[in-house]
Structures are given as C-alpha cells and as structure tokens.
Amino acid sequence: MEKSKKTTAAVSNPEVNIVWLKRDLRTQDHVPLKLAEDSALPYIILFLYEPSLIEYPDTSDRHLQFCYHSVKQMNETLTKTNQSVTECHGEAIEIFTYFTSNYSVQNVFSYRESGIKLTWKRDKAIKKILDSKGINWQQSQRDNVLRGIKNRANWDKIWYQTMNQVALTNTYSQKEEMTIDHPFTFPQEFKNILENYPNFFQPAGEKNGWKYLQSFVKDRGRNYNRHISKPTESRLSCGRISPYISWGNLSVKQASQFVVSNPNYRRNKRPFDGMLTRLKWHCHFIQKFEVECEYETDCLNPGYETMGYANKPEFLEAWKNAKTGYPLVDACMRAVIETGWINFRMRAMLVSFLCFNLDNDWRKGVYHLAQQFLDYEPGIHYPQFQMQAGTTGINTVRMYNPIKQSQDNDPEGIFIKKWVPELRDFPDRFIHEPWKATAIDLIDCGITLGEDYPHPIVDLKETAKVARAKIWGHRKTKEVRENKRRIVTLHTRNK
C-alpha cells in the first residue's frame, strides 16, 4: 500500500470525483480538471500505467518516461494546494474496480480518447463498470475531435470556432489533506526505467512545451517554410512541439492561440501560418482515426489488402537497424532512434523506402517507428504511415528517392556525416552515393564498402519502377475504386 499523506480518507467510502488523465498531461486549458474543481466534492486525479498497453508493440520506454516526467511537473503545481496525481501501475479495470469499491465515486471526468482498438475496448469495459455502479463518466472533447460523425460536413468551420474560443485558465483551491491508499504501486525495476529518462530526448512537461513554443515564435520559426524538409535545419526551425501536443502538455488551442497572438506573428505570417495549418492537420488526422481506429491494422482502403509484398525479413532488419547502404535512410533511422524526432519529409521517405523499394508491407514497420517517435500519436501515425505507403487510394502516391532527397536537402552531407560516422571522412561528392566512389577514393578515406558501411541492399531505380507499376496497377482495381468513394465521403468532404 502506498501511504502518501497524513490522514486516511478511505475508511467510510467518502464521496469523491475522479479525474482520469490520459493524453492531457497539463494543468491549464484542462476541462476535466475544471469540472472537478467546480464540484463541491474532493477529487482524485489518476494516471495509469497499464501493463497491457505497456507491453503492446506500439509503446516504448521513452513514451512512458515522457508521461512520468510530465506528471512530475504537474505535481509541482498541484502539490501547492495539497493535491497530486495518483499514479497507478495496473490494469484500468482493476484500478477502477478498486477505487469505485473503496470510494463513493460520483463522477469520472476525462478527455475522450481517440486511441487504438485496445484502448477503445478498455474504455468500453470501464464504461460498463461505471454504469453498473451508477457513476457518471463525463468525457470532454479533445482538440475538436468529434465523436460519432458520419462525414466531414462543417468540420473545418467547427474547428476554427473551437480554436477561437478562450482557452481555460484553471485555478486550484486549497484542499484538505487526503491519503489515497491503493495497491497499484510501481515495481522497482519499472520505477528505475521511468526515472532514467535520457537527456537526448526533448524534456517532458508543460513548462518545457511552453519553452519550445516561445522559442519558436521568438526566433526559430522565421525559417519554418524554408527549412521544413531539411533534416538538419528543421531540427531548429520547426515547432518541435509535437511531443507536447501528443501527450497533452499543450492543447492545440493553446498552441495556435499563442502563435497567432504573438507580436512576431505579423512579421512572420507566412512561416507561422505554415505551422498553424499543420496544427489543424493534427486534428484532421486524429478525426480520421477516431472514426475508424482499424487503420492501425487494416488498410485504409481495403482494396489494398490483396496487394502482395515480398516481405523479405533481411530487408526489414536492415531498415530497422539503419544498414541499408543508402546514407540518408540510415542517417534518418539512427537520428530518430537516438533522439525520437525527425522531420515530416524524412519520416515519409523512411516509409516510402520500406514499402516501395524494400517491398515490405506497411504493417511490418509501423510499430517500429511508433516506438521511436517521442511524439507518437496513433491518430496521426497510422493514417500518415498508410498515406506514405500508398494504401489509402485517395492520395497521390509519392515515392521519395533517397538520393535526390539527400542531394536536395542535405547537399553537403552534414546530416549524414553526423549520424553515419563511418562516412565522416568520405569525399563530399560521393556522400549521397558511396558506391560510386573509385577504389582510390576509398583507399584515401580508409573505408571498405561492404565492411565499414554496407553496399546498397536494393537497386533504387529498378525497385521503384516495379513498385510504381504495382501500386498504380492496383489502384485501378474495382475494390480500390469502390472504397475510394466511401473514404472520400467519410473523411474529406467539407461543406
């Protein structure tokens, strides 16, 4: 049992409300926390580490660590009022059964989760428990992601209306001290993992989210459009707020209002508008997933289920381990493994290379990148991954040529040399295509291809040609065309 405070409140099943935190780890612009504060009852704030989710293949330590340190930061604010987040390690069903048996829970307040099927099913089970006990579960809408819509009529209009509403200022009243006893303590080993958050990832929490946002509008963001596709420069010029938005350290409304209302906005209107457009995309993609969370496992356009792949395991391993022999591909994979972030274009290129050049089904790589992205957000990740893999049937198929990407966006090979140090001394003129170096060049820089750095594992031109014929050919099938109509109506029609 965890004993955190002085007196024991669980003796006679005291009346309480519960706030269930999910991807909303902040203290401001927080509707469920406001609802709890507005009620006369004391409330317990829960954050759960659920073994079934921790073990699921989309999750990695970095995600859990980010949550843990975000909660820590929330507690710095909340403890001033004798309140804190109660962190439990256990399955949601057991935890809610426990709390609803030991407390007289009146309401549960949370945001609505647009997650994977596992969390959707879990939420249904929790609803059953709460309903059976007559407990009201009020789920607030997150970032204008709407539940139960049949098409996108008026979605854009409602999004702008929501984003223009005043962001909530949460206030916290002084609380009576309350002991929250529960058996869901962390195993020591798990606690050690959570504590040891490597400092080469972006620091977690609300305060850090604001720091990144502030430095973007102050200075970094003026080159946003110019640098957005460049793997090195984008690290500075992009917003870099994605983990804070994904785990809810910042709401989309807070971020967009902050950018628009900043004095620098007028001076940097074009680049800042570029970033603001993407904040809308953030919600647009999650809306797709909210409607059909099967996109985690099924082709967005079911017509693509019959398209075959070679699925060679050795190619998949080379991609995952950044040993494909294509320097920019390998540099991107190493950068994202090491830091949790690469820009949009490089993410798209990694997927394109896996699915088109290496002829691997998107499902083979989708969890690997989910684990690496510190900003992993199911609602964006799966629809985006499929868009780049060409399985939506509604978007233009884009094949990214890693040599061209490298020449255009990393012309001097600065990014490549940082992340693929084997090539640090390689002559610049061959950095994008090391296999073209002459024997003398190779002796000169002391590199043996095939030993120090791999030969390219596939022929780029040949594989792209085959993939193009396959994907465009399949696009003409009856199944793909029929499903295309349905998808367009469901996800893209704006009235």
Closer residue to ligand FAD, CB minimum distance, 34 or 253? 253
- Residue 459 exposure: Cα atoms within 13 Å on the Cβ side: 5
Q: Which of 47, 99, 258, 285 binds ligand FAD (CB under 6 A)?
A: 285
Q: How far apart are CA 72 and CA 78, in angstroms?
A: 10
What is the closest distance, in whole angstroms, from the C-beta atom of residue 25 to ligand FAD in the complex?
A: 15
Any contact of residue 361 with ligand FAD (CB under 6 A)? no
Any contact of residue 279 with ligand FAD (CB under 6 A)? yes
What is the closest distance, in whole angstroms, from the C-beta atom of residue 308 to ligand FAD in the complex?
A: 22
Closer residue to ligand FAD, CB minimum distance, 22 or 240? 240
Candidates 55-63, 347-355, 429-437, 448-456; binding stretch for ligand FAD (CB under 6 A): 347-355
Any contact of residue 105 with ligand FAD (CB under 6 A)? no
Task: Report the site for ligand FAD in 377-396 (rule: CB under 6 A).
Answer: 377, 380-381, 384-385, 388
Q: Which of 242, 256, 301, 391 binds ligand FAD (CB under 6 A)?
A: 242
Any contact of residue 23 with ligand FAD (CB under 6 A)? no
Any contact of residue 348 with ligand FAD (CB under 6 A)? yes
Candidates 63-71, 196-204, 372-380, 406-414; binding stretch for ligand FAD (CB under 6 A): 372-380
Tell the burial category of 191 from Cβ atoms under 10 Å away from its Cβ (0-12, 13-18, 19+). Answer: middle
User: How big is the site for ligand FAD, counted in residues (CB under 6 A)?
Assistant: 27
Closer residue to ligand FAD, CB minimum distance, 346 or 431? 346
Q: Which residue is nearest to ligand FAD (CB)?
A: 239
Closer residue to ligand FAD, CB minimum distance, 178 or 238? 238
Any contact of residue 344 with ligand FAD (CB under 6 A)? yes
Q: What is the contact mask toward ligand FAD in residues 444 to 473, using x (rule: CB under 6 A)?
A: ------------------------------
Contact 257, 163 (CB under 8 A): yes
Any contact of residue 362 with ligand FAD (CB under 6 A)? no
Q: Which of 375, 410, 415, 434 binds ligand FAD (CB under 6 A)?
A: 375
Any contact of residue 288 with ligand FAD (CB under 6 A)? no
Any contact of residue 230 with ligand FAD (CB under 6 A)? no
What is the closest distance, in whole angstroms, from the C-beta atom of residue 359 to ligand FAD in the complex?
A: 18
Closer residue to ligand FAD, CB minimum distance, 14 or 274? 274
Q: Which of 238, 318, 458, 467 binds ligand FAD (CB under 6 A)?
A: 238
Q: Which two tokens stand for residue 177?
A: 């001290």
Any contact of residue 373 with ligand FAD (CB under 6 A)? yes
- Judged by the rule CB under 6 A, the positions of this chain that interact with ligand FAD are 238-242, 245-246, 275, 278-279, 281-282, 285, 343-344, 347-348, 351, 373, 375-377, 380-381, 384-385, 388
